[in-house]
């Protein structure tokens, strides 16, 4: 329960898990589900990446693999924010 930044932990988990599976649809959903656990434990909504956001998020994953998690964490946060407010855009 001593997580300093659940969003950073979720980002790291997402990257580690996605590197262990082929990046197909079923493992993508499982990866997001497991990576959401630190967020849910901290009282935040789960990771939600809409179809219109998916291509942008996939591009930021490459940058995160190279050590810069900032854009990927922003992508995750943006999706969580849209999910929690019920926004469709």
In this prediction, residue 63 has a pLDDT band, given cuts at 50, 70 and 90, of: confident
Q: What number is the average pLDDT over the span 49-75?
A: 87
The pair phi, psi for residue 38, each rounded to 5°, is -60, -35
pLDDT 10s digits, 11-61: 988 888 887 766 555 577 888 899 999 999 999 999 988 888 888 888 888
Residue found under tokens 């300093």: 4
Q: Residue 42 has what pLDDT?
A: 92
pTM as predicted: 0.77
Measured at the CA of 56, the angle between CA 10 and CA 27, to 5 degrees, comes to 50
Q: Residue 86 has what pLDDT?
A: 64
CA 19 to each of CA 1, 45, 84: distance values in angstroms, whole numbers, following the listed order: 26, 24, 28
């Amino acid at each position: 329960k001593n997580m300093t930044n659940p969003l950073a932990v979720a980002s790291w988990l997402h990257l580690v898990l996605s590197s262990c599976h082929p990046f197909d649809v079923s493992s993508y959903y499982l990866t997001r589900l497991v990576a959401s656990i630190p967020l849910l434990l901290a009282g935040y909504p789960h990771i939600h990446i809409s179809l219109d956001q998916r291509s942008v998020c996939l591009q930021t994953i490459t940058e995160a693999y190279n050590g810069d998690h900032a854009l990927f964490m922003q992508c995750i946060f943006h999706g969580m924010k849209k999910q929690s407010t019920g926004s469709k855009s």
